[in-house]
Amino acid sequence: MIILGCENLTQSNVILTEPTLLKVENLSVNRSGKLILKDINLVLRKGEFVGIVGPNGSGKTTLLLSILGFLKPETGNVEIYGNPPMSRKNFDKIGWVSQAASYLPKGIRITVRELVRLGTINSRNLFFELDKIGRRERVTNAIKMVGLQDVENVNIEFLSGGQRQRAVIARALASQAEFILLDEPLVGIDRGTRNDLLKLLDRLCHDEDKTVLMVSHDLTAIRQTAHRMIYLEESIKFDGSTEDFPDLQTLADLRGIKPVHDQSFNHNHS
Ligand SMILES: Nc1ncnc2c1ncn2[C@@H]1O[C@H](COP(=O)(O)OP(=O)(O)O)[C@@H](O)[C@H]1O
Ligand SMILES: [Mg+2]
């Protein structure tokens, strides 16, 4: 259900000629017997940069995990490139940057380059040195894309939060993923780095034809970059172009809560 009479906006900013990448139909998801997501319908096309916002506990992570096929839906269906999410055909096409990726465990002795190289390992080349040169090149390119070439041989424990986040994104890029899902990638990084990261993601959509689906509490930041916004609270309450995203007062009315400040998105990190 799209509110605010925005039904006609749902597809308005979507490049309708681009192929459908993700299709979510009538998805409902329970966790521990509690309904978390209700009747989600969502279509993403190649090259889109879509931001998902919503309060803490509104089901954003649950939606990403369901799209990835980690959670089994109660009803409904998810297709990526026309196949179930876990299909072998989607192998290597999906890059997943999980919540708090920048908080990589301390004490792990691994360099940026080694971490990014992990992105190129899959079941086909795990035990064989297949396409070693091609893989090396992909790692080098991915590191360059996120601007970490100066620290590529540095142990990740010495990096800042933003640099770590970029290293994790580079890992997804090295895997040649076309569809990149990020869960709260802006948490724990400073403002400057946050802007760099958003610019990078935007460039990936425009220049590399990647598709980005990003969850964030940071409404202000995501609004600056995403072409399309989704407001999720159990169900999709808004889905449309970023310019048409409702103001905070309208959102507050929508939720029956007042007042709602922009900050409420930033405070409740889960
Ligand atoms: N492993 C779990 N088992 C049961 N309920 C969960 C689990 N993880 C999250 N939840 C519940 O699902 C709801 C949505 O959580 P989540 O998708 O993480 O929200 P968000 O990412 O928007 O903060 C919350 O009420 C949370 O308590
Ligand atoms: Mg979450």
Predicted confidence (pLDDT) per residue in 65-86, tens digit = 999 999 999 999 999 999 999 8
* pLDDT mean across residues, the chain: 83
Residues 88-122 have pLDDT tens digits of 888 778 988 887 666 666 667 899 999 999 887 76
1-93+178-270 is classed CATH 1.25.40.10:
no
Q: Where are the beta strands (DSSP E) in 91-136?
A: 94-97
Q: Which residue has the tokens 């319908």?
A: 41
pTM: predicted TM-score of the whole model, two decimal places: 0.83
> Are 258 and 231 in contact, with CB atoms under 8 Å apart?
no
In the reported structure, the alpha carbon of residue 138 is separated from the centroid of ligand 1 by a whole-number distance in angstroms of: 35
In the reported structure, the alpha carbon of residue 134 is separated from the centroid of ligand 2 by a whole-number distance in angstroms of: 35
Residue from 29, 53, 61 to probe ligand 1 pocket by mutation (most atoms less than 8 Å from CB): 61
Residues 127-158 have pLDDT tens digits of 556 667 778 888 998 899 888 999 999 999 88
Residues 37-51 have pLDDT tens digits of 999 999 999 999 999
> Are 23 and 85 in contact, with CB atoms under 8 Å apart?
no
Residue 233: pLDDT above 50? yes
Could you tell me the residue ranges of all domains in the chain? 1-93+178-270, 103-176
